[in-house]
Structure 1
C-alpha cells in the first residue's frame, strides 16, 4: 500500500502580515475607464433593428385558444386610447400612438424609456 502524502492544514496563525510592504497600496490609482479616450460610435447608427408597435397582449390557456374560431373575440390587456408599447428588438423603448402618414400606418412617440438606447450617440 502506497503512502498518501500528508496535506498540511491551513492555520491562520501562521500568517504574518508584517512581512508585507503595504505602503504602495496607499497611493491612489487613476481610473483607467475615466481616462480612456472617447470612441466614435457612429458605426452603431447603421446597425438595423426591428421596431415593433405592440397593441396589447393576453395570456390565455392553450385549451381556450384551441376553442377559438372565426368570429371569436379575445379580450386584450389594454384599454381603448391607452398608449401602445414600442419595442426595439423585443425590448421596451417607449410608448406611442398610431398615426396615418401617406396612407401608411406610423407611430408618434409619446415617451421614451430612459435606457442605454437614449444615450447612444451622444
Structure 2
C-alpha cells in the first residue's frame, strides 16, 4: 500500500505539458480561468543519454525450435533483403535507415523519420 508521501502528482513532473502531444482531457483540478503556463526550457533534456538500436528483422520461434537449433541452422526473418532497418530510441520507433560504412565504422543513414515522435522536443 502506498502512503501519501510516495504518490507522484502531475505537478511533481518537470516536463512541459505539451511534450507528448495534445491531451484528451484537461486536469480535473485546473480552473478554467487559470493563467497559461510558460513553456519550460527543454535544453536540459538534450544532454540525457538514450539507447539507440537498429532492428534488422525479427522472427517468432517456439522454445522447442530454438533449443533444437545448432550451428549452420538458418532462422527466416520477416524482412526482405534491402528493406530499411528500424531505428529505435529507448525502444520506440524513431525512423528507418540503411547501414553505411564510413572509414571502417558502421553507421546509419536515416531514410525516414517519424515526425510525430519528434513533436514537442
- Distance change (3 Å), C-alpha of 1:95 and 1:31: farther
Residues in 1 aligned to 2:84 and 2:34: alpha-carbon distance in whole angstroms: 43
| Largest Rg, 1 or 2 | 1
Q: Gapped runs of 5+ residues in structure 1?
A: 1-28
Shift of 1:114: 2.8
Q: Take 1:41 and 1:109, find their aligned partners in 2: how far apart are those partners? A: 24
Q: Which structure carries more relative contact order (alpha carbon 8 Å, separation 6+)?
A: 2
User: As a proportion of its length, which structure holds more helix?
Assistant: 1
Pairing 1:60–2:61 present: yes
* Long gaps (5+) in structure 2: 1-31
- CA deviation vs aligned residue, 1:28-83 (integer Å, no higher than 9, x gap): x3354xx2112111010000001101100001111111111011100100001111
Q: What is the aligned length? A: 91
SS at match of 1:59: coil
| Cα distance per residue 1:71-108 (max 9 Å; x no partner) | 11001000011111000011111111000112111001
TM-score between the two structures when normalised by the length of structure 1? 0.68
Question: Could you say what the CA RMSD is over the residues aligned between the two structures, in angstroms?
Answer: 1.7
